[in-house]
Amino acid sequence: MTNLLLIDAGTIEWSRAQFALTAIYHWLFVPLTLGLAVIMGIMETCYYRTKDTFWKDAAKFWQKLFGINFAMGIATGIILEFEFGTNWSNYSWFVGDIFGAPLAVEGIVAFFMESTFVAVMYFGWNKVSRGFHLASTWLTGLGATISAWWILVANAWMQYPVGCEFNPDTMRHEMVSFSEVALSPFAISKFCHTVTSAWIVGAVFCVGVCCWYLMKKRDTRLALESLKIGAIVGLVASLLAAATGHKSAQDVAEVQPMKLAAMEALYNGGTDVGLTAVAWVNPFSQPDYANDESAPLKIEMPYALSFMATNDIHGYVPGINDLLNGYTKPDGTREPSIDEKIERGKKAIVALADYRKARQEGVPVDSLGAQLATINENMKYFGYGYIKDKDQVVPYIPINFWAFRIMVGIGCLLILFFAIVIAGAYKWPAKLWQKRDITSLPHWHYWVAIALIPLAYIASESGWLVAEFGRQPWTIQDMLPTWVAVSDLHSSSVIITFFLFLILFTTMLAVEINILIKQIKKGPDYSA
Amino acid sequence: MRKDSFIYRFFNLYYEGFRDMKLGRTLWTIILIKLFIMFAILKVFFFPNFLKEHAPGNESSYVATELIDRAEP
């Protein structure tokens, strides 16, 4: 028999750290794959339309960089599945059927689409028609994007569990509606925001590489034409990411209001709430949200948070204390306090224990209607039954607050950057660019563009930090906290694998960067 | 087999593609080493299926016990 007190506290934190490490490393590879897929697709489309071999060489060059990143990223996500089975076995069992379906579809689709079309893309030049080759290039990118879709469906389900029913006999959530799971609004918003942000990373990478060529005064045509495509993709993607981010924020406001409150360090909610531009939130300690009115040195944009969360500048946004103590929503319904939710969670767990005991004693299911009804009525708050102190449901505010600002800040910077690059590439307005040429600017201009590559990654990873830290302590929103989801392991075994992964992934990253730099320095192979 | 048949052309696409690889050889070597480390070392020695090891065939009862007991004050 295991009691929570006997679970090694280090196991929880190390398992979380290990999962975060592998997910963060995995996400270093994925956005560039999705982003470069669009860039190389556009290049090859130009070749298809113009028959100019320059575009074929350009497409092949970007496909080569895509291939390096793709090869390095392959299977890095599988480690997350290893961790589910070993470190998070209670979680894995509890969600099994729901989580398994999207991941299985992802595996099958990714394998068949990518193995077929990647092969045609790399091996098929001069062997298949130009049209079929072009289709294969786009389908390679589409395959990777569809893979991302299923992974994000699985992730979205953890944040907003829908389309399922808990079976107390099997102790698993069972899928009752595949469409509800696969087409959950939360998943759709998450997919759109994640994929558009990945396009930004690809575009920044493309523009950065082009700027390096321009700085070195080599491969100028490739650099200039690629720069134009990269900057246009980047600007469109940045604007789309801003729009999809707005929708994501509304979803979060609706189903994970505590995450939104933590992102904003909003201790006490209300109507007409402003969006915090900056405030002093100590990065190293949880604020005293129970006693402070708001974060100090706060500068806010009036009404913007209400608009972001509700599409109405006067909309009501609950703060952390409202969520802890319960509040009345604008539609008159009451959101229970955490204490009330804890009571309901405990009821569900007690009813589950009674049900399981009775079943072991051979009592037929028909006679256990009361227990089943209690479980079903309170399953929504099942996880609260493990909460000992209501402060446990407040995520670590500083990480959410700063990660959100880093993501949005860099995102805004990139919109400006792409707009300037497009203006420079197309010499608009002509008067401003009369004496300047984007191919011969002072070097620091190009270094700024190159420096934005890591910043784009930081923004992308920050988005994931908000998504995942913001839902703490839940592995499944409101149903399963981390300390119940984790396996009864000794922390030492998790620590060993944590460092093994750190070494493995860092080596892979170093190898990738090394090969990428070599190939960029080598440049494209031009047709004779 | 006729050289213009679909199966031959399909096979030939992969055969010549793999044969003529340059950078691809390095990448495939890295992929294979990585997969070996992941599946033959990490999965086998460090990432056993916890429930299959601790409660083979009885996973639901094990998880039920875990979930119920961890709620105790």
The verdict on A180 and A78 lying in the same domain is: yes
Beta bridge partners of A152: none
The verdict on A96 and A193 lying in the same domain is: yes
The verdict on A101 and A228 lying in the same domain is: yes
For an interface test with A, the pick among B37, B39, B68, B69 (most A C-beta atoms closer than 10 Å) comes out as B68
Pick the last residue of a domain from A332, A358, A386: A386
The verdict on A115 and A148 lying in the same domain is: yes
Instruction: Report if residue A527 sits inside a domain.
Output: no
The verdict on A501 and A477 lying in the same domain is: yes
Total domains present in chain A: 2
Residue A75's nearest CA partner among B40, B53, B39 is B39
Dmax (CA) of chain A = 88
For residues A93 and A171, the answer to whether their CB atoms sit within 8 Å is: yes
Please give the share of chain A, as a percent, with pLDDT higher than 90: 84
Which residue in the block uniquely carries the two structure tokens 């490490």? A21
By three-state DSSP, how is residue A456 classified?
A: helix
The verdict on A141 and A163 lying in the same domain is: yes
Mean pLDDT of chain A: 93
Residues from chain B that touch A169, judged by Cβ atoms under 8 A, are: 60
C-alpha atoms less than 13 angstroms from C-alpha of A23 in its C-beta half-sphere = 21
Taking the alpha carbons at both ends of chain B, their separation in whole angstroms is 74
* Domain with A322 in it: 265-386
**How does residue A5 score in pLDDT terms, banded at 50, 70 and 90?**
very low
> What is the structure's pLDDT at A209?
98
For residues A361 and A296, the answer to whether their CB atoms sit within 8 Å is: no
B31-47 as b/e: b if 16+ CB within 10 A: beebeebbeeebbeeeb
* Subunit contact A349:B68, Cβ cutoff 8 A: yes
For an interface test with A, the pick among B6, B10, B41, B47 (most A C-beta atoms closer than 10 Å) comes out as B47
What's the ipTM? Answer: 0.90
For residues A35 and A62, the answer to whether their CB atoms sit within 8 Å is: no
A406: CB partners within 8 A, 6+ apart: A458, A459, A462
The nearest alpha carbon in chain A to B37 belongs to A504
For residues A455 and A244, the answer to whether their CB atoms sit within 8 Å is: no
A372 exposure class (CB count in 10 Å sphere: 0-12, 13-18, 19+): middle
Residue B17's nearest CA partner among A115, A62, A516 is A115
* Subunit contact B59:A93, Cβ cutoff 8 A: yes
The nearest alpha carbon in chain A to B21 belongs to A123
Residue A192 sits at φ, ψ, to 5 deg, of -60, -45
Which residue in the block uniquely carries the two structure tokens 């992964």? A501
The verdict on A297 and A241 lying in the same domain is: no
* Tokens read off for A304: 């913007």
Pick the last residue of a domain from A367, A386, A405: A386
For A404-424, what is each residue's pLDDT tens digit? 999 999 999 999 999 999 999
Instruction: Report if residue A152 sits inside a domain.
Output: yes
**How does residue A47 score in pLDDT terms, banded at 50, 70 and 90?**
very high
For A196-215, what is each residue's pLDDT tens digit? 999 999 999 999 999 999 99
Which residues between 35 and 64 in chain B have a beta carbon less than 8 angstroms from any beta carbon of chain A? 35, 37-38, 42-43, 46-51, 54, 59-61, 63-64
* Subunit contact B42:A94, Cβ cutoff 8 A: no
> What angle (nearest 5°) sits at the alpha carbon of residue A135, between those of residues A134 and A139?
120
**How does residue A3 score in pLDDT terms, banded at 50, 70 and 90?**
very low
CA dihedral A88, A89, A92, A94 (to 10 degrees): -110
A2 has a pLDDT exceeding 50:
no
The nearest alpha carbon in chain B to A6 belongs to B70
Residue A269's nearest CA partner among A222, A230, A309 is A309
By three-state DSSP, how is residue B20 classified?
A: coil
How far is it, in rounded angstroms, from Cα A508 to Cα A79?
14
For A139-171, what is each residue's pLDDT tens digit? 999 999 998 999 999 999 999 999 999 999 999
The verdict on A334 and A239 lying in the same domain is: no
For B16-60, what is each residue's pLDDT tens digit? 999 999 999 999 999 999 999 999 999 999 999 999 999 998 999
Residue A37's nearest CA partner among A130, A148, A132 is A148
Which residue type is seen at A433?
W
Pick the last residue of a domain from A364, A386, A408: A386
* Subunit contact A2:B66, Cβ cutoff 8 A: yes
Which residue in the block uniquely carries the two structure tokens 């729009």? A243
Residues in chain B: 73
**How does residue A1 score in pLDDT terms, banded at 50, 70 and 90?**
very low
